[in-house]
Chains A and B, each alone.
Chain A
Amino acid sequence: MKLPGRFGLLPQLLVGFAGAGVLVLILLFSGNRMLESSSERLVDTLERHVRPLARLHGLQARVGNLRNMELELGHLDDVFALQSHIARLRSEISTLDREIGAFSIVLGKQAPNEAQRLAGHWREYRSRLEAQARLAAEMDLAGVRGITAAGSHISYLSIQALLTEVAEQTETAADAAYQKATREQQAQRKEFLWLVLLGGMVIFIGLAYSGQSVVRRVGILHEHAQKLAAGEESGNIVIARHDEIGDLAEAFGTMRQQVLTRETALRASQVELEQRVHERTADLKSANRRLVRFSQVVEQNPVGILIARIGGTVEFVNPAFCRITGRIPEDIIEQPLIEIMRTADPLDADNAMRVAISGSIWEIEQPSRRGDGAYWERLRLGSVHDEKGRPTHLLLSCEDITEQRTQMEKITYQAHYDLLTGLPNRVLANDRLIQAVSRARRDGGKAGAMYLDLDNFKEVNDTLGHAVGDALLRQVAQRLTAAVRGEDVVARLGGDEFLIVAGGLVHGDEAAAVAEKVIAAFAEPFMVDDRELTSSPSIGIAIYPDDGTEPMVLLRNADLAMYEAKDSGRNMYRFYNRSIHDLSLQRLEIGRCLRGALERHELHVVYHPLVRADSGCIIGSEALLRWNSPELGEVQPSTFIPVAEQNGLIVDLGRWVLREACATLARWRLQQDAFVMAVNVSPRQFRSSGFVAMVRDCLTEFDVPPRQLEIEITEGLLLRNQGEVRVILEELHDLGVRLSMDDFGTGYSSLSYLREFPFHTVKIDRSFINDVSEDRSDRALVIAAVRMAQALGLQIIAEGVETDEQWSFLMAQDCDILQGFRFGQPVTESNFGKTWVNARVVRPDGDPVARDLPFIPV
């Protein structure tokens, strides 16, 4: 409410500040004027006196510098510095010429005589300098020094003296101007200080009056407020109401009345409240006892329990929760539940809370970590509701399920991995192959199944024991894993068989590259218990989709290709192709027909003569097995013997052949007492149990002298498991049986074999005899073999003799025995008995050795 004559605080302050402001402005304006005036005077002084002075000093310095350059020029000690010095000198002359010209114009306005003198001196000095520069360019430094000494210094000193004189005059004038400007400035400063003092006093008085009025009235209000706070009667406030402090006093009076009324009502309410508190306290005590019971249950529960507010902040955890999670309560209480749950994806925890609040139970099993390491936990999250069914809290239970998980993982691992090598086992390998095929099918690419078998693992296991075999397998697994590509899978299928699944192939050749790396990885010997072991792989490769579209078909075809690799000489890889498949079928068919062939009398033995080279006498024969199958016709030994070797039938067949040969020998001995019978023995038969006993029994049964039976084995037999072979050979040797190395020259042709093992005879392979007439190297080899055998005291048999020329050559080399078509085809027992036993062949040179033997005109 406004009263007549009212003059509020704001107008009072505004008027006060406005007055002070005006005063300050006046002061500032006056000060500024004084500064401007002072500045103008200084500028004027600078313009009129100081600048010319500075210019003069600059000119003096430049002239001095020019003089220095002049002096230096005559004393330069390096002619290559001359040009740059001359250039600088000329540049300086030019610059100074311009500056002195400009200065002379200014000087001419004040002192024309001096300006004229300066121009004259400069012209003279400049001409001398130019002459010096010219001489220096001609490298006449003596001439330069002559000018310097002769007269240039006079011109220089004249210029400097004149410039100094002008400078002194200018300096005197400048000094006077400066004194005057200083005096005027001091007077103005004094005036300004008086003005500032006056203004300050006016402002002080105004502020003191206003302050005193406000402080007095605020003091009255303060006194009444203190009395009201103390509950004392203070009476009415008397303050004139012409401004805001008066308004405040009136409002304070009204407030004082209202406070007194409310205080009475509050006292009545207090009595009622105390009654209610008493009742409520009794209820709380009862509830508290129940809570203690529940609390003990929760505290002692082995399951971890955590209670959080609906908002997600943790309120409580029991000791089991802390024990399982490895955390202390202080790290959990008041922390966000989402962080405590530690789910891999924070969204999972968020979702869990939504599920729990909606009334369902959310559950997860997850790996977690605590101080003593990693563990597995099962979390269940639900909600706690009030009596109206509204969720009030979240309840999280936590169980340590590490042991359950470990057991489960162990079972899973054992089901999918090979415990010896740690590689995937057959089950997982099949799964990976299926995956690789599926991916190749989807991407339009290729996948490879590579079946790998160790070539001599059985010997290692048999001779060195399973512990060494297992160690070798572990090292093989490591090398395989290191040799293949990152995306390939190496699995152990069992025994010494491995599978490499090569996925993501673009060309089948990539599998070949992997196979080559694998073979290369076996090049270095394996070290097992300080023993050096060599091993090699045979690898069969089948490619999806070329060699099969189903994983099992690929596996089978890779297996077939692996056998092909083994048959081709081992330590190599072979891709599956149709011929392998056909060959496989053919082998199966041959194997099927071969079973029972003996019983069905489909097999028979033929004999090929052995002829003395020097006399042409028949000294024996080689027994050869033939098969005439009703279903397959005449089957070549080279076709059915490997099948028999592979499926083990060779043992029975070999035994039968030996018996037939011994029986035949016994009959022929009646005609030719010293007749020798040679019988081929396959590696499998040789190593079969009871082989030596069987030979002994045979000799005994047919009463054949052991020295007339010659057992032929191939070099390949000696390559593996030499210890076992040596034992059998020595037993046969002790028995008195002759031992012959067949096909000499086609394999390793190791002299050491002949020396170390108890052989009697060496048979040179037919391939060397065939070309002995044309091929000088074959001739040399045959000569070397004969010499070597002679040196070792061995008998030599040359196979494949077909011509008289070959016979003559071999005879000339003192070869002992010949065998070949030169003497006819192998024939049946009856034909051989009629034709060859106790017979003789005429030598190529027609040497008629008079013997009482049948003559064979072949």
Chain B
Amino acid sequence: MARNQWLRMTIGLSWLAVSIGPSISLAGEQGERALAAVKAMIAAGEVRKDATIKVAFKSGNIAALLGPGLELQNDWEQRTGVMINARVIPQQPALLNLKANPDIDLTVARTHEFPDLLEQGLVEDLTPMAKQFGFTIDGNPPKGYIRPRLQAYVGDKLVAIPADGDILMLYLRLDMLESPVEKAAFRKIHGRELAIPKTWQDYEQLIQFFHRPQQGMYGSAEQRERESAWMLWMPRYLSQGYPQRKLFDDKLTPLIDSPAGIAATESYIRTVRYSPPDILGDGKDYSYTLPLFMQGKVFATMFTIAGAKLLNSAASPVRGKFTTVPIPGTRIDKRLVRRNLPIYGNNLVVSTKGAQRKLAFLFTMWLTDPDTSLRTVGVKGGFTDPFRWNHVNDARLREMYTDEALAVFAKEWDIAVLPGTGLPGDGDYLDALNQHLWLAASGKQSAAEAMRRTAQEWDKITQRQGREKLLPWLKTFNAGLVNSDAAPAAAK
């Protein structure tokens, strides 16, 4: 063994001994099978013992996925002899990163990006590998992946291994909600009790009530910057119909310029007036909104469950003062329709051009093993969120996220649907939507105009992509709107 390998191993062992101590454990059954498969491949001469898997993660992902001090990387390397070469790639779509780094084996991609990646042949269809090595990506409790059909599949093709469950949650200031003074004032103005909002209308009323800029308190800090506009517009739009409002009809004609689309857009832009003044600025994403909530400057914010992890940290000024609740919905014919979706979802994808695709796949199976993955989700301050059912019940994670947040999180998956458009060209569709939502939020377009123009641009994108080519994709996407992962409610 080369001297630097000894050195790495020694450092790795020392680090593990010091930082992990007794908490280190063998991987679970899935992880052990992945390790055994790697050893078998090495023994059969299929791969060299000193083979290297090239992984590329965005800034901040390295620690979240490979553990603080790269403890998981070291663990993997010691147990298999296969090295991990991790590099940092820019915060940009996976499509661009995969094209710019053709030699990598493994990277992360957001759920809505799958169609583009698959259609352009950039990510491996993992179905044959899963079959070859005998792995099942199931959603069965108590340890299965949460809603794998939402996070890992395009139709029947397994294209990613879930590694992060990014469902939307609503964070509210509990201390303000429970204040007798506020309750009385609210009852006086609105004639009803101050309560957790059920509908988007309730929610707007609530943030309007708590919007007091002269006191340095804003009603809401939902992300309204250009790049991620679709994420917080979609729940509003999808809940405009039952079981959900669709983006296209069966012939790919956009439906977003309908009254439902305009209503969703109006709901989306109405929060701007109750937000901090810079909310529309470029780059004002969660790194802008979450600190405001943590510092007690806003009443409400909306983000994934990772928000709970940060807000509940020891240094957080709002620890114990906030509540995590389901996102609101729309009342249609006395039925409350709520729809949620995995907005980010850092899922592991294997590049088709990678030299060690099988090893990369086995690494993902080890990394997302029920026991191993507790170590990624449990990284303090990291973005990796629960993505297996056993995470929801883990005592350490419950302490980290709060019982309440994990309970809401588990329940919200029942109403989750596929994110994005499900079509090749998804990036273009969402860019167009983002741009017009931002213009509408900035007051430069009306909601109706924004939707009309977006629909026109969507039509052009559809023409460019080829309508006939897209129709099967749309069919697959629509078929996926049915919850085929349904897990027993008891498990959640």
Contact = CB atoms under 8 A, between A and B. Distances in A.
Interface of A: 76-84, 86-87, 134, 137-141
Contact of B287 (A77, A83, A84, A138): A77
A440 to B, nearest CB: 46
Contacts of A78: 59-60, 91, 287
Interface in B368-385: 379-383
Contact of B315 (A84, A87, A138): A138
A80 B380 CA distance: 9
A611 B312 CA distance: 109
Given A137-B315, A138-B316, A138-B317, A82 B381 contact: yes
25 contacts: A77-B287, A78-B59, A78-B91, A78-B287, A79-B290, A79-B291, A80-B60, A80-B381, A80-B382, A80-B383, A81-B60, A83-B380, A83-B381, A84-B60, A84-B379, A84-B382, A87-B380, A134-B315, A137-B313, A137-B315, A138-B294, A138-B316, A139-B291, A139-B294, A141-B291
Chain A contact residues: helix, strand, loop or mixed? helix
Given A77-B283, A139-B310, 20 more contacts: A76-B287, A79-B290, A80-B310, A80-B383, A82-B381, A83-B313, A83-B380, A83-B381, A84-B68, A84-B382, A86-B381, A137-B314, A137-B315, A138-B295, A138-B315, A138-B317, A139-B291, A139-B294, A140-B291, A141-B291
Interface centre among A77, A79, A140, by most chain B C-beta atoms within 10 angstroms, is A79
B367 interface: no
B382 A83 contact: yes
Interface in B350-376: none
B63 interface: yes
Nearest to B307: A79
B306 interface: yes
Nearest to B384: A80
Contacts of A139: 290-291, 294-295, 310
B68 A79 contact: no
A140 B379 CA distance: 21
Nearest to A138: B315
B286 interface: yes
Closest 3 CB pairs of A and B: A83-B381, A137-B315, A139-B291
A696 to B, nearest CB: 80
A83 B378 CA distance: 13
A137 B291 CA distance: 10
Interface centre among B91, B291, B382, by most chain A C-beta atoms within 10 angstroms, is B291
B64 interface: yes
Contacts of B286: 79
Contacts of A80: 60, 64, 306, 310, 381-383
Contacts of B91: 78
A89 to B, nearest CB: 13
A114 B152 CA distance: 62
B104 to A, nearest CB: 21
Contacts of A137: 313-315
A87 B68 contact: yes
Nearest to B287: A79
A515 to B, nearest CB: 41
Contacts of B317: 138
A304 to B, nearest CB: 52
Contacts of A79: 286-287, 290-291, 310
B63 A84 contact: yes
Contacts of B306: 80
Contacts of A76: 287
Contacts of A83: 313, 380-382
Contacts of B382: 80, 83-84
Contacts of B380: 83, 87
A137 to B, nearest CB: 3
Nearest to A82: B381
A83 B68 CA distance: 10
B73 to A, nearest CB: 14
Interface in B29-68: 59-60, 63-64, 68
A544 to B, nearest CB: 49
Contacts of B383: 80
Given A138-B315, A139-B310, A81 B295 contact: no
A140 B294 CA distance: 9
Contacts of B316: 138
Interface centre among A87, A134, A138, by most chain B C-beta atoms within 10 angstroms, is A138
Contacts of B60: 78, 80-81, 84
B110 to A, nearest CB: 15
Nearest to B289: A79
A84 B313 CA distance: 13
Contacts of A87: 68, 380
Nearest to A141: B291
Nearest to B317: A138
Contacts of A86: 381
Contact of B59 (A81, A134, A138, A140): A81
Nearest to B64: A80
Interface in B71-118: 91
A413 to B, nearest CB: 49
A140 B313 CA distance: 14
Contacts of A140: 291, 295
A76 B317 CA distance: 20
A87 B68 CA distance: 10
Interface in B220-235: none
A670 to B, nearest CB: 92
B240 to A, nearest CB: 32
A139 B313 CA distance: 11
A76 B60 CA distance: 10
Nearest to A137: B315
Contacts of A82: 381
Nearest to B314: A137
A132 to B, nearest CB: 13
A143 B221 CA distance: 20
Interface centre among A78, A86, A87, by most chain B C-beta atoms within 10 angstroms, is A78
Contacts of B379: 84
Interface centre among B59, B60, B68, B283, by most chain A C-beta atoms within 10 angstroms, is B60
Contacts of A81: 59-60
Contacts of A138: 294-295, 315-317
A767 to B, nearest CB: 59
Nearest to B292: A139
A77 B60 CA distance: 10
A263 B332 CA distance: 138
A86 to B, nearest CB: 8
A77 B310 CA distance: 15
A84 B381 contact: yes
A80 B313 CA distance: 12
Nearest to A77: B287
Nearest to B62: A84
A80 B58 CA distance: 12
A77 B225 CA distance: 14
A83 B382 CA distance: 7
Nearest to A133: B315
A112 B379 CA distance: 45
A72 to B, nearest CB: 11
Contacts of A141: 291
Contacts of A134: 315
A83 B291 CA distance: 13
A140 to B, nearest CB: 6
A269 to B, nearest CB: 76
Interface in B273-327: 283, 286-287, 290-291, 294-295, 306, 310, 313-317
A138 B291 CA distance: 7
Nearest to B306: A80
A659 to B, nearest CB: 82
Contacts of B313: 83, 137
A79 B91 CA distance: 14
A159 to B, nearest CB: 27
A95 to B, nearest CB: 14
A146 to B, nearest CB: 14
Contacts of B59: 78, 81
